[in-house]
């Protein structure tokens, strides 16, 4: 993992001779210890450090001035979000309990067992939820919830723009179901009771192989780049390979991202003929970028590889074309795969534009080297700052408006179809394109239902729309040449 070659920038010169004084001033009292850790981590590695004057190495003339600045923020969240995060940054975050964050890296979260979107009805504050998929062996699964189900009321209260978050955060949920008839939401009189439970989601939601007259097509619905499931992902590609698929449809429509390492591995599974070639390049803040360029230029590159992190050989398909299903919920590591593969193979993107997230983050703990080992025993805060932006081998990055589709097609929440069924709109459009057929008329390029999509269940998860390097169990501290510290 290339993060294991990161060179940690040392504490700025203004603080180098004052470590003992700083420790005296910033004792673990109230939130000063936490604030010191937050500031130090952001000062070291934050991608947008230059946007924040207070993170400049020479901004504070003395440890006392830094103390006074930190003391103005009794709440660490206020310090982080109000003072240290750049206006152009939508994705850096901190957590009060890194144990919960670590669970998220393994795909563990509280869930009623369904992924859903939320839409505002036209010209109103009314909100409806629509189920996008159901997780097996969960509360929603046991209750008989299915894709396409609509709910408009929770615990007897109609969903609105003002209350939907609070209502859907409850442990126990009583949902009143409805149907969409034209542009009207019509209650069915059915109510279901669900419970939020801790659940480990396998990101490999569905796989199929379609035998067409002119092609054998693999289909993979993949909902998160969860590192722990890389061996299972590799097994899927072993099966695809054994069946001799000629095309692949990768369904990332609800995939908000995850591990950079897994994204590189997945891209290597899809191809295989580009082993060792540049998949993506990294652009860090000024201090890190200059160090890497001078001392470790290879540390700035992610390359197509031949093994997953367990050491198993990657099962590669050697494809020269890939179909990807996308929506506005397709983010970060999903976009990394599309962008990274684009210079090498044909990408046919079916759906709508993606989120527009091209930066990666890493977890910093309150320890001398920011690693998990020797983290402070006084609190469990951790920060997840953006550390670099990713670009493909041709330099493409900064796709703030997302990656646009080749075949524009919007899901109709009144008729979502069955996932994995050739009659489902996005999958059907991809299968038709593979066969050289025109898009069927029922696959509308816009949703006839007058509703504006405003949110989704995934936004409540800690790692929502994140692309991250694997967490540091042990931090690193490799000295910068002395001359760089004498400015």
Q: Which of 354, 352, 353, 371 is nearest to 362 (CA)?
A: 371
pLDDT band at residue 481 using 50, 70 and 90 as cut-offs: very low
In this predicted structure, the answer to whether residue 87 has a pLDDT above a threshold of 60 is yes
What integer pLDDT is reported at residue 463 of this predicted model? 85
Q: 67: which residues sit within 8 A by CB, 6+ positions away?
A: 25, 26, 32
Q: Which of 469, 487, 482, 456 is nearest to 6 (CA)?
A: 469
SS3 call for 465: coil
pLDDT tens digits, residue range 105-120?
A: 999 999 999 999 999 9
- Domains of the chain plus CATH, in order, are 110-200 (2.30.42.10), 204-447+459-468 (3.90.226.10)
Q: Are 157 and 163 in contact (CB under 8 A)?
A: yes
Q: What is the mean pLDDT of residues 164-180?
A: 95
SS3 call for 236: helix
Q: Which of 111, 59, 2, 53 is nearest to 387 (CA)?
A: 2
- pTM exceeds 0.75 for this model: yes
Tokens representing 212 are 């067409």
**DSSP secondary structure code for residue 84 in this structure:** I
Mean pLDDT, the chain, rounded, equals 88
Least confident of 2-16, 291-305, 413-427: 2-16
| Cα(238)–Cα(42) distance, integer angstroms | 42
pLDDT band at residue 52 using 50, 70 and 90 as cut-offs: very high
pLDDT tens digits, residue range 213-231?
A: 999 999 999 999 999 999 9
**DSSP secondary structure code for residue 481 in this structure:** P
Burial (0-12, 13-18, 19+ Cβ within 10 Å), 93:
buried
What integer pLDDT is reported at residue 402 of this predicted model? 97
Label residues 442-481 b or e (16+ Cβ within 10 Å = b). ebeeeeebebebebbbbeebbbbbbbbbbbbeebeeeebe
SS3 call for 438: coil
Task: Tell how far CA 17 is from the center of its chain.
Answer: 39
């Amino acid at each position: 993992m290339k993060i294991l070659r990161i060179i940690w920038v040392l504490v700025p010169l203004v603080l180098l001779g004052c470590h003992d004084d700083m420790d005296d001033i910033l004792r673990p009292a109230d939130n000063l210890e936490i604030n010191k850790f937050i500031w130090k981590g952001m000062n070291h590695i934050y991608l947008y450090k230059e946007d924040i004057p207070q993170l400049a190495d020479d901004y504070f003339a003395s440890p006392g001035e830094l103390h006074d600045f930190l003391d103005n923020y009794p709440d660490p969240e206020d310090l982080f979000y109000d003072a240290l995060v750049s206006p152009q940054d939508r994705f850096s975050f901190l957590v009060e309990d890194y144990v919960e964050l670590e669970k998220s890296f393994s795909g563990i979260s509280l869930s009623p067992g369904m992924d859903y979107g939320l839409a505002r009805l036209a010209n109103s504050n009314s909100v409806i939820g629509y189920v996008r998929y159901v997780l097996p062996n969960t509360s929603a699964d046991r209750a008989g919830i299915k894709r396409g189900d609509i709910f408009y009321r929770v615990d007897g209260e109609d969903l609105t723009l003002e209350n939907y978050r609070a209502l859907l955060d409850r442990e126990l949920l009583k949902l009143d179901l409805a149907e969409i008839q034209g542009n009207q939401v019509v209650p069915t009189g059915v109510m279901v009771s669900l419970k939020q439970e801790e659940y480990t989601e396998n990101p490999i939601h569905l796989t199929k192989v379609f035998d067409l007259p002119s092609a054998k097509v693999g289909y993979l619905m993949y909902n998160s780049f969860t590192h722990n499931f890389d061996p299972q992902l590799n097994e899927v590609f072993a099966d695809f390979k054994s069946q001799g698929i000629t095309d692949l449809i990768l369904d990332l429509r609800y995939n908000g991202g995850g591990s950079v390492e897994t994204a590189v591995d997945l891209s290597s599974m899809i191809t295989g003929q580009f082993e060792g070639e540049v998949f993506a390049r990294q652009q860090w803040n000024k201090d890190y970028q200059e160090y890497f360029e001078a001392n470790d230029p290879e540390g700035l590159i992610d390359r197509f590889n031949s093994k997953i992190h367990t050491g198993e050989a990657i099962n590669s398909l050697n494809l020269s074309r890939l179909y990807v299903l996308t929506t506005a919920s397709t983010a970060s590591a999903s976009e990394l795969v599309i962008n990274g593969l684009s210079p090498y193979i044909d990408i046919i993107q079916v759906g709508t534009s993606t989120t527009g997230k091209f930066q990666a983050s890493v977890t910093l703990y309150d320890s001398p080297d920011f690693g998990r080992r020797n983290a402070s025993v006084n609190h469990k805060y951790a920060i997840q700052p953006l550390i670099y932006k990713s670009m493909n081998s041709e330099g493409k990055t900064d796709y703030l408006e997302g990656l646009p589709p080749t075949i524009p097609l919007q899901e109709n929440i009144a008729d979502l179809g069955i996932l994995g069924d050739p009659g489902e709109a996005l999958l059907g459009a991809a299968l038709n394109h593979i066969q050289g057929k025109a898009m069927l008329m029922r696959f509308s390029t816009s949703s006839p239902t007058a509703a504006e999509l405003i949110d989704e269940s995934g936004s409540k998860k800690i790692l929502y729309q994140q692309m991250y390097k694997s967490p540091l169990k042990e931090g690193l501290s490799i000295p910068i040449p002395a001359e760089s510290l004498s400015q």
